[in-house]
Amino acid sequence: QKEVEQDPGPLSVPEGAIVSLNCTYSNSAFQYFMWYRQYSRKGPELLMYTYSSGNKEDGRFTAQVDKSSKYISLFIRDSQPSDSATYLCAMKEGFSGGYNKLIFGAGTRLAVHP
Amino acid sequence: SAVISQKPSRDICQRGTSLTIQCQVDSQVTMMFWYRQQPGQSLTLIATANQGSEATYESGFVIDKFPISRPNLTFSTLTVSNMSPEDSSIYLCSVVSGGNEKLFFGSGTQLSVL
């Protein structure tokens, strides 16, 4: 079983839809949770960053972390064609005296059509 | 966030040859990382490159195949040696900036080996 599971999609939605992207994980020591957006032929771009449980909102984007269920989500409201990209979840353990590497999901490909 | 320049952006190489990928950061950073991104798979950490010390390789990656240099706090190179078609992938340079948890990526090198 992979440490981080993410449905690869593709996910196709009409413009203006609410998009829900999700990841599950198995390591209860994960404390930091991130979402990256990757456009074709570009490097991943940090989109959202959350520590521990709870919600974080940034414009049309909301990140949720449910540590009890080992489940994280990214919601995109009023989706736009420019949101078409691959979304990667990533997470890592809390500080333990050294650098803990990020563990990535495989990414979900999202297409928003006009 | 750090601005990371990576080159070449893409290359097509012959089997048995080597390719060196360069990564330049616009600020001094302690930790630099090299990742591989294969289609449909999670980002995989190849090695961590710290200035003034040997790179630390992850399981499954060895120095003879992926030698890394880190001559100063703003620059690193990754060489993919004695290439085979299985090395065809995207290679990404990344750095930690703005806090231990936040990882930023270059635009990547798309490598195809014939």
What secondary structure, in 3-state letters, does A92-103 show?
A: EECCCCCCCCCE
State the pairing for strand pair B103-105/A45-51.
unpaired
pLDDT tens for B1-49 read 789 999 999 999 999 999 999 999 999 988 899 999 998 888 999 999 9
Distance of CA A67 to the CA centre of its chain: 14
Percent above pLDDT 90 for chain B: 80
Collapsing DSSP to helix, strand or coil, B86 comes out as helix
Q: What is the mean pLDDT of chain A?
A: 92
Q: How far apart are CA B81 and CA B89, in angstroms?
A: 14
**Could you tell me the pLDDT band of residue A58, with boundaries at 50, 70 and 90?**
very high
Please indicate whether, in this complex, the C-beta atoms of A104 and B42 are within 8 angstroms of each other. yes
Please indicate whether, in this complex, the C-beta atoms of A41 and B108 are within 8 angstroms of each other. yes
Question: Searching chain B, which residue's CA lies closest to the CA of residue A39?
Answer: B107
Collapsing DSSP to helix, strand or coil, A21 comes out as strand
Question: Searching chain A, which residue's CA lies closest to the CA of residue B50?
Answer: A99
